[in-house]
C-alpha cells in the first residue's frame, strides 16, 4: 500500500507489527533508588529494525527543551496520564477487552540521560513488577517527521517484548499505522485497524486523509499548549489575590461605601451645574453681598471646574448689608468716610477679600 508522508506521526507503544506512521519506545523497569524510571533516552535513538523510516535522518531525537515541553504538557493535564498493560487502552475498541491501568504518571523530569518519570503503581502491577512478570515500560508519543522530536506523551504501558537493548537498559521499538510492505496479510489488516482507531480517537471521519490526521494531531498539541497558558494565567491571578486571613495594608485602600458616597455627591453637583445651579448660586451670592461683581468671572470659572469648592467658599462668606444694597441697586449708598471713598462696610469687605482699600476702590469703580 502506498501512502503520503505526513509532517508528524504518532509513536504508539505496542509489541506487534511494524508499519509507517507510529513509533513507540519500551524501556526496562529498573528504577533508581529514588523511584524514578527512564521513559525516553536523550539524543538520537532508533529501533533495532531501523525505524523510524519516516523521519529525516532515520532517528528520533530528544533534547532538554523537547523534554521540558513534554513535562509541561503532562503537568497541564487535569487527569493523570495512564500506564496500562500491553497498550490495551489503544486496543480496547478492537478486541472489546477491558483496559485496566497498571499505574499513573505522577511526575516527570529531565536528566542528562533522557526523560524520567515517577509512577504511582496499582497493587496488582506492583506484584507483577516485583515478581518479574513485567519488565519493560513503553511510551506512546506523536512526533515531528522532520526533526524526530516527540510532540507530547499519549500514554505508557507495561510490556514484555523490548526491541532495543544496550541503551542504559532501554528497549525501543516502533509500530506504524500505514504498512510499508507487510510480510503477511494479517499484519496489513491489523495496521489498518490501528489507523482506524487513531482516526476515531481524534474524532475524524472514517475516510480522513493523512493531511487531516496530521492537522488534528497538531491541533491537539496546540490545545494542550493553550490550556497550559490559561492555567498559568489563572495561577498568577490567584497568587495576586490576598489569601484568606492575610493582612491587608488598609492605608492603600478606601472603603467602598466612601467611594460610592463620593460618586453620588459628584454626580449631584455636576447635575446642579448643568441645570443652572451655578447661575443661581452666583446670583444669590451677589444679591446678599457675599460675592462682589468683580469676582463673578472668577467664581463662574471656579464653579465650572469645581462647583463644590465655590459653594463652600460662598457658604462661608458673610453677607454684607452695604454690598447687598449695592447689588440690588435700590438703596442709596451710605456716605463715604474714607480717603478712597469707601464706607466702613466696604472697608470690611476689602479686608475679607484680602484687598487694600485702594484696590477695593479700584474694583468698585470698574
- Residues 165-187 pLDDT 10s: 443 333 333 333 333 333 344 44
Contact status, residue 162 vs residue 171, Cβ threshold 8 Å: yes
Binned at pLDDT 50, 70 and 90, residue 188 comes out as: very low
Residue 234 belongs to some domain of the structure: no
Q: What is the pLDDT of residue 240?
A: 66
Is the pLDDT higher at 27 or at 94? Answer: 94
Residue 284 belongs to some domain of the structure: yes
Q: What is the pLDDT of residue 94?
A: 83
Looking at the structure, do residues 100 and 155 belong to the same domain, yes or no? yes
Looking at the structure, do residues 348 and 290 belong to the same domain, yes or no? yes
Query: What would the pLDDT profile of 32-45 be if each residue is shown by its tens digit?
Result: 777 898 888 899 98
Residue 58 belongs to some domain of the structure: yes
Percentage of the chain lying above the pLDDT 90 cut:
15
Average pLDDT over residues 350-360: 80
Other CB atoms closer than 10 Å to residue 217's CB: what's the count? 21
Looking at the structure, do residues 148 and 265 belong to the same domain, yes or no? no
Binned at pLDDT 50, 70 and 90, residue 1 comes out as: very low
Q: What is the pLDDT of residue 172?
A: 39
Residue 130 belongs to some domain of the structure: yes
- What would the DSSP string read from start to end of 134-174? --EEEEEEEEETTT--B----EEEEES--S--SBTTEEEE-
Looking at the structure, do residues 213 and 296 belong to the same domain, yes or no? no
Residue 358 belongs to some domain of the structure: yes
Residue 251 belongs to some domain of the structure: no
Looking at the structure, do residues 139 and 278 belong to the same domain, yes or no? no
Average pLDDT over residues 317-331: 59
Looking at the structure, do residues 222 and 291 belong to the same domain, yes or no? no
Looking at the structure, do residues 13 and 132 belong to the same domain, yes or no? yes
Looking at the structure, do residues 302 and 219 belong to the same domain, yes or no? no
Per the structure, the count of domains in the chain is 2
**Full-model pTM:** 0.43
Q: What is the pLDDT of residue 269?
A: 67
Domain that holds residue 322: 256-365
Distance between CA atoms of residues 240 and 306, nearest Å:
37
Looking at the structure, do residues 224 and 260 belong to the same domain, yes or no? no
Looking at the structure, do residues 188 and 39 belong to the same domain, yes or no? yes
Q: What is the pLDDT of residue 181?
A: 36
Looking at the structure, do residues 206 and 341 belong to the same domain, yes or no? no
Amino acid at each position: 500500500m502506498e501512502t503520503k508522508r505526513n509532517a508528524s506521526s504518532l509513536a504508539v507503544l505496542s509489541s506487534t507489527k511494524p508499519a509507517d506512521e507510529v513509533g513507540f519506545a519500551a524501556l526496562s523497569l529498573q528504577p533508581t533508588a529514588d523511584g524514578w524510571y527512564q521513559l525516553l533516552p536523550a539524543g538520537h535513538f532508533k529501533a533495532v529494525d531501523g525505524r523510524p523510516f519516516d523521519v529525516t535522518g532515520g532517528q528520533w531525537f530528544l533534547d532538554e527543551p523537547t523534554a521540558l515541553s513534554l513535562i509541561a504538557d503532562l503537568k497541564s493535564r487535569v487527569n493523570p496520564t495512564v500506564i496500562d498493560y500491553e497498550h490495551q487502552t489503544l486496543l480496547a475498541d478492537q478486541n472489546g477487552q477491558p483496559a485496566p491501568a497498571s499505574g499513573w504518571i505522577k511526575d516527570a523530569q529531565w536528566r542528562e540521560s533522557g526523560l524520567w518519570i515517577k509512577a504511582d503503581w496499582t497493587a496488582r502491577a506492583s506484584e507483577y513488577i516485583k515478581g518479574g512478570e513485567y519488565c519493560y515500560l513503553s511510551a506512546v508519543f506523536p512526533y515531528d517527521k522532520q526533526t524526530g522530536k516527540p510532540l507530547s506523551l499519549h500514554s505508557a504501558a507495561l510490556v514484555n517484548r523490548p526491541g532495543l537493548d544496550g541503551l542504559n537498559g532501554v528497549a525501543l521499538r516502533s509500530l506504524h499505522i500505514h504498512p510499508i510492505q507487510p510480510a503477511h496479510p494479517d499484519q496489513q489488516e491489523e495496521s489498518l485497524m490501528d489507523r482506524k482507531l487513531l482516526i476515531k480517537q481524534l474524532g475524524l471521519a472514517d475516510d480522513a486523509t493523512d493531511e487531516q490526521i496530521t492537522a488534528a494531531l497538531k491541533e491537539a498539541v496546540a490545545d494542550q499548549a493553550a490550556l497550559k497558558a490559561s492555567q498559568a494565567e489563572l495561577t498568577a491571578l490567584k497568587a495576586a489575590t490576598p489569601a484568606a486571613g492575610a493582612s491587608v495594608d488598609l492605608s492603600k485602600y478606601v472603603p467602598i461605601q466612601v467611594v460610592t458616597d463620593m460618586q453620588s455627591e459628584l454626580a449631584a453637583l455636576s447635575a446642579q451645574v448643568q441645570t443652572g445651579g451655578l447661575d443661581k448660586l452666583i446670583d444669590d451670592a451677589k444679591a446678599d453681598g457675599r460675592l462682589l461683581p468683580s469676582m463673578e468671572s472668577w467664581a463662574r470659572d471656579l464653579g465650572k471646574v469645581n462647583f463644590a469648592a465655590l459653594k463652600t467658599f460662598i457658604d462661608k462668606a458673610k453677607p454684607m448689608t452695604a454690598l447687598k444694597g449695592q447689588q440690588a441697586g435700590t438703596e442709596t449708598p451710605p456716605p463715604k468716610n474714607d480717603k478712597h471713598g469707601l464706607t466702613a462696610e466696604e472697608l470690611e469687605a476689602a479686608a475679607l477679600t484680602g484687598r487694600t482699600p485702594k484696590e477695593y476702590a479700584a474694583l468698585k469703580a470698574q
